[in-house]
């Protein structure tokens, strides 16, 4: 009976993790942002903040670009290739994982990034929740 309960709890925990949302995070002293502001920062249209990115293979990255801008990672790469080619900007700096990204955000008040909501801790502040 205990094994069945344990299996059920693990299944629920996995389901909750799989459905965790994506949040935009910033320095603990940063102000909340709107979805439009976040999109403009990540599209290179605003210097309101310094955007940070996760690797292309990260499922969180795909969720973020879909929920924040309605775009796929490949579309964002094409957008940034065009921006770089025309000399109008540089793509967001990429970090290996959420831990490294949070470390940079905690040290840089202008930086923003996105993480899975399950990775939230006291080192960063949630600026926007993307559902």
Q: Per the domain annotation, does 1 fall within a domain?
A: no
Which strand (E) or helix (H) includes residue 79? helix 73-85
Name 102's Cβ contacts closer than 8 Å, sequence gap at least 6: 25, 113, 115, 119, 121, 123, 124
Number of domains making up the chain: 1
pLDDT 10s digits, 64-91: 999 999 999 999 999 999 999 999 999 9
pLDDT of residue 4: 54
CATH number at residue 30: 3.40.190.10
69 in any annotated domain: yes
Residue 112 located in a structural domain: yes
Which residue range(s) make up the domain with 117?
A: 21-130
Distance in angstroms (rounded) separating the CA atoms of residues 120 and 3: 31
pLDDT at position 9, please? 41
CA gap 68, 71 in Å, rounded = 8
Q: Does 49 fall in a domain? A: yes
Whether 11 is covered by a domain: the verdict is: no
8, part of any domain: no
Whole-model pTM: value is: 0.83
Whether residue 33 is contained in a domain is answered as yes
Per-residue pLDDT of the chain (131 residues; tens, 9 = 90+): 555 544 444 444 444 444 579 999 999 999 999 999 999 999 999 999 999 999 999 999 999 999 999 999 999 999 999 999 999 999 999 999 999 999 999 999 999 999 999 999 999 999 999 98
Residue 87 lies inside a defined structural domain of this protein: yes
């Amino acid at each position: 009976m205990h094994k069945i309960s344990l299996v059920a709890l693990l299944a629920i925990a996995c389901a909750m993790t799989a459905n965790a949302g994506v949040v935009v995070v910033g320095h603990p002293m940063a102000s909340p942002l709107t979805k439009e502001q976040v999109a403009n920062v990540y599209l290179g249209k605003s210097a309101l903040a310094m955007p940070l990115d996760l690797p292309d293979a990260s499922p969180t990255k795909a969720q973020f670009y879909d929920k924040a801008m309605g775009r796929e990672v490949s579309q964002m790469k094409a957008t940034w290739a065009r921006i770089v080619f025309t000399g109008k900007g540089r793509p967001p700096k990429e970090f290996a994982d959420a831990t490294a990204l949070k470390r940079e955000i905690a040290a840089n008040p202008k930086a923003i990034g996105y993480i899975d909501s399950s990775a939230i801790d006291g080192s960063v502040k949630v600026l926007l929740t993307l559902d």
